[in-house]
């Protein structure tokens, strides 16, 4: 695995999670000050570490990201804020950073409980000596941010810019069928391309809009959702000048966006019981935000999600969800295809072969809904999971 | 049962539903022209009968309401519009109305199929001779609008206005755990009070805002949702003058609103598998619409609904849903009580007795969430059902 240059990684178990051997403290440390940008939950009930990071990014002066899993440090009031600041301070001291503001802090896990700071401190202390730039260290750091996830979520890219090669790597957490912590999504994207803070922030926001902002599991926006981008500029052979030429910026943004989409899709794919990934492609809307609103409404519909769990080509639930989403649709021009079978056209269901479409859904891991809602240029692709009995059983029986 | 004067009722089986003996055609016929108002689905994909009724109400000149169940006449294009018009025309002719515009048309059931108009015509023809003003006829009419409902939904009120007594009666349909027709809600409210069309329309819209617009099952807005109010003015002993004095108008509106709430609550209470009715009382919001938006977000959350199905006092899911709903909340002043047990206060969970709250949820048919989100005057009460495995099983296995 080719990782971006200029970063080291560590993941250790410090006892925040109940199972003592599960990794729950993750470090990403930059060799020197790097550019950092962040996109955060829009929930007004946000966790202490979100407040901390918002106060720091965008910046050209980050040295480390410290993440704990197993406790979200959310709904913890002033003591939670102090604990987040202390996580930054302890990490800053141990990695020889100049000040705590050079450290970004992430937390994920149960909400409403104070962090056991003695364990967190011990975790950071034990992680720092294990920092390394290799794949094993990266994987340990990636595993240590997981909670109810069934599998690790990582992605990498390489990109040639003239004679230079830049690298991008990302780690994420967030489970399709979720447990105590409302599917908090965390993602850290790293690159050795040189980016300025404002540029990195703009790129990351746009990338989020077509990736992490286009996935949903049950429509909850968690208290802790965070997406970070760190750019070291350590790729060899690059001109030292920033900003980069516009075409190179665009290439980097494209690669970052693609990597974010790859990471994002792993979230609804994951998890207990989800039998299908649903890919909802909306086009023909007035503009992209309209398409996004329509796709979100379809994705949020329990009726759509249960129908797809049952492999039922229920066009009515899908088309009517688009109809109440809000943005204008042209019903007479609305067209819906399920796995490329056209089931609704010109305001009417077609004479499709129900058993054939049913079988195509049953046999596919991803069910693709192509929904054209008019003749506008707005489009969006949204990914979600289906909704079956296992999900409900898991979420009803789980007691915090 | 004391029914409003000036109306007759019928309900018959005409073979639209698969089971030949199930009532599926309902008539409400006024002795003379009456005032009628309507509130309809906001879905852009709306059924033919909705378009028909929108073109007629508010009006002072309605003679009948004809409803078929078993087929929603939705997504049926121009032929569907013609069929709705023909239902009105056939009914108008048989009840000696002057023209089809004096007849309101409702349909509910599967969508995307053309009405079998020969059966509908036969149904209207067989219903008209059975029209009667008594309770049995009213109950048959009420039963004939049901689809997946487990039980009949009716309510009545009497109100003294000076020396006169006015009566209000309503019938509704809509099931908590729903099947093919996306929980279409139909309701017909009748009174023998005298109301002018604009007055009736304004009253009905306000009544809908605190009743039928404050219930949800899975957040879908159906293609056919319709609420009608018919006012005959046939109560004896009333002054012939309309408008009525302002205080009498207010009394009538209050009674209509209370009746609408009673009918509306029967919808999420109904249905296969729903184990709790959830009553979400939001207060302290900036204004009533903000409170409504927050309550709707909590009600729409699958995580909240599954937690309550599991009798889990999961304050985090509830408070965070309020946090992402949109309207501003004051997290530091946010307070949540579940069945009167305070579980969250001042931005933090309380030290509540989890087992005690769990037991109170388990033993209650209605779980009450009291959510204070600040110090504003905005408030709203919203009702929904919980989400358990039976629901998902039913909705995944149902194939249209």
Contacts of A358 in chain B (CB under 8 A): 399
Choice among A8-12, A325-329, B194-198, B237-241 with the minimum mean pLDDT: B237-241
A70 to chain B, closest Cα gap in Å: 15
For residue B393, pLDDT beyond 70: no
What number is the ipTM of this complex?
0.85
Mean pLDDT score, B175-187: 65
Determine the pLDDT at residue A301: 87
Determine the pLDDT at residue B178: 47
Determine the pLDDT at residue B242: 64
The string of DSSP letters for A157-199 reads: EEEEETTEEEEEEEEEE--SS--TTTT--EEEEEE-S---HHH
Interchain pair B312, A391: CB under 8 A = no
Determine the pLDDT at residue B397: 60
Smallest Cβ–Cβ distance between B349 and the set A46, A112, A309 belongs to A112
Determine the pLDDT at residue A179: 43
Residue closest to A36 by CA, chosen among A64, A11, A3, A8: A64
What is the C-alpha to C-alpha distance for residues B217 and B6, in angstroms, rounded to an integer? 34
Residues in chain A: 400
Interchain pair A387, B312: CB under 8 A = no
Please name the residue of chain A whose CA is at the shortest distance from the CA of residue B111: A316
Q: How far apart are the first and last CA of chain B?
A: 38
- Partners of A158 in beta bridges: A167
Determine the pLDDT at residue A124: 98
Q: Which two tokens stand for residue B1?
A: 């049962």
Smallest Cβ–Cβ distance between B77 and the set A182, A316, A347 belongs to A347
Distances (CA, A) of B48 to B69, B172, B226, B263: 14, 20, 12, 25
| Residue indicated by tokens 């804020």 | A81
Interchain pair A303, B218: CB under 8 A = yes
| Residue indicated by tokens 């109560």 | B235
Interchain pair A387, B324: CB under 8 A = no
Choice among A248-252, B3-7, B200-204, B394-398 with the minimum mean pLDDT: B394-398
Is B184 catalytic? The answer is yes
Please name the residue of chain B whose CA is at the shortest distance from the CA of residue A75: B348
What is the C-alpha to C-alpha distance for residues B151 and B146, in angstroms, rounded to an integer? 8
The string of DSSP letters for A18-74 reads: SSTTS--EEEEEEEEEEEEEEEE---SS--HHHHHHHTT-SEEEEEEEEEEEEE---
Determine the pLDDT at residue B271: 61
CATH topology of domain B277-397: Ubiquitin-like (UB roll) (3.10.20)
Q: CATH number for the B7-269 domain, one of 1.10.3720.10, 3.60.70.12, 3.10.300.10, 3.40.470.10? A: 3.60.70.12
Contacts of A317 in chain B (CB under 8 A): 182, 220
Smallest Cβ–Cβ distance between B220 and the set A46, A77, A301 belongs to A301
Mean pLDDT score, B121-133: 98
Please name the residue of chain A whose CA is at the shortest distance from the CA of residue B317: A182
B129 to chain A, closest Cα gap in Å: 36
Smallest Cβ–Cβ distance between B349 and the set A75, A219, A310 belongs to A75
Average pLDDT, chain B: 92
Peptide bond into A58 cis (omega under 30): yes
Determine the pLDDT at residue A393: 66
Q: For chain A, which residues score pLDDT lower than 50?
A: 177-181, 399-400
Mean pLDDT score, B288-307: 92
Q: List the catalytic residue out of A76, A184, A223, A334.
A: A184
What is the C-alpha to C-alpha distance for residues B376 and B6, in angstroms, rounded to an integer? 45
Strand-strand pairing, A335-338 and B226-231: unpaired
A298 to chain B, closest Cα gap in Å: 10
Strand-strand pairing, A25-40 and A7-12: antiparallel
Angle at A57 between CA A79 and CA A226, to 5 degrees: 65
Determine the pLDDT at residue A319: 95
Q: What is the per-residue pLDDT across A244-265, written as a single tens digit (0 to 9) for each?
A: 888 999 999 999 999 999 999 9
Q: CATH topology of B7-269 equal to that of B277-397?
A: no
**pLDDT band at B238; cut points 50, 70, 90:** confident
For residue B388, pLDDT beyond 90: no
Count of alpha carbons within 13 angstroms of residue A125, beta-carbon side: 6
> Hey, where are the domains in chain B?
7-269, 277-397
Determine the pLDDT at residue A238: 78
Q: What is the per-residue pLDDT across B66-85, written as a single tens digit (0 to 9) for each?
A: 999 999 999 999 999 999 99
Interchain pair A316, B75: CB under 8 A = yes
Residue closest to A214 by CA, chosen among A340, A383, A2: A383
DSSP conformation class of B183: T
Peptide bond into A243 cis (omega under 30): yes
For residue B5, pLDDT beyond 90: yes
**pLDDT band at B346; cut points 50, 70, 90:** very high
Interchain pair B387, A302: CB under 8 A = yes
Residue closest to B155 by CA, chosen among B270, B278, B261: B261
A287 to chain B, closest Cα gap in Å: 18
Q: What is the per-residue pLDDT across B207-219, written as a single tens digit (0 to 9) for each?
A: 999 999 999 887 7
* SS3 at position A373: coil
């Amino acid at each position: 695995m080719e990782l971006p240059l200029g970063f080291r990684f560590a993941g250790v178990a410090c006892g925040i999670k109940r199972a003592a051997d599960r990794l729950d403290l993750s470090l990403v440390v930059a060799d020197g000050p790097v550019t950092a940008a962040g996109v955060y939950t829009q929930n007004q009930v946000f966790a202490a570490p979100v407040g901390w990071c918002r106060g720091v990014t965008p910046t050209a002066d980050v040295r480390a990201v410290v993440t704990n899993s197993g406790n979200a440090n959310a709904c913890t009031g002033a003591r939670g804020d102090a604990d987040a600041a202390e996580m930054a301070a302890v990490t800053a001291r141990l990695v020889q950073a100049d000040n705590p503001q050079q450290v970004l802090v992430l937390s994920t896990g149960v909400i409403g409980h104070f962090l056991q700071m003695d364990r967190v401190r011990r975790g950071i202390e034990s992680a720092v000596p294990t920092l390394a730039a290799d794949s094993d260290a990266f994987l340990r750091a990636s595993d240590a941010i997981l909670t109810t996830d069934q599998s690790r979520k990582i992605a990498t890219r390489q990109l040639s810019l003239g004679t230079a090669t830049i690298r991008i790597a990302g780690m994420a957490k967030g489970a399709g069928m979720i447990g105590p912590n409302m599917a908090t999504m965390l993602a850290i994207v790293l690159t050795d391309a040189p980016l300025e803070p404002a540029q990195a922030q703009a790129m990351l926001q746009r990338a989020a809009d077509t990736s992490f902002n286009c996935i949903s599991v049950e429509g909850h926006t968690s208290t802790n959702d965070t997406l970070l981008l760190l750019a070291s500029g350590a790729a060899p052979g690059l001109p030292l000048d920033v900003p980069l030429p516009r075409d190179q910026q665009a290439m980097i943004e494209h690669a970052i966006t693609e990597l974010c989409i790859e990471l994002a899709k792993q979230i609804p794919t994951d998890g207990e019981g989800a039998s299908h990934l649903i890919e909802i492609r909306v086009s023909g809307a007035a503009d992209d935000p309209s398409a996004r609103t329509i796709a979100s409404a379809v994705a949020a519909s329990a009726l759509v999600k249960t129908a797809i769990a049952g492999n039922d080509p229920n066009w009515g639930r899908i088309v009517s969800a688009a109809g109440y989403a809000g943005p204008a649709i042209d019903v007479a021009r609305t067209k819906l295809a399920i796995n490329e079978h056209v089931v609704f056209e010109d305001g009417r269901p077609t004479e499709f072969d129900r058993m054939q479409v049913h079988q195509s859904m049953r046999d596919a891991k991803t069910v693709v809904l192509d929904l054209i809602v008019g003749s506008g240029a707005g489009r969006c692709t949204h990914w979600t999971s289906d909704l079956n009995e296992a999900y409900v059983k898991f979420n009803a029986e789980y007691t915090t």
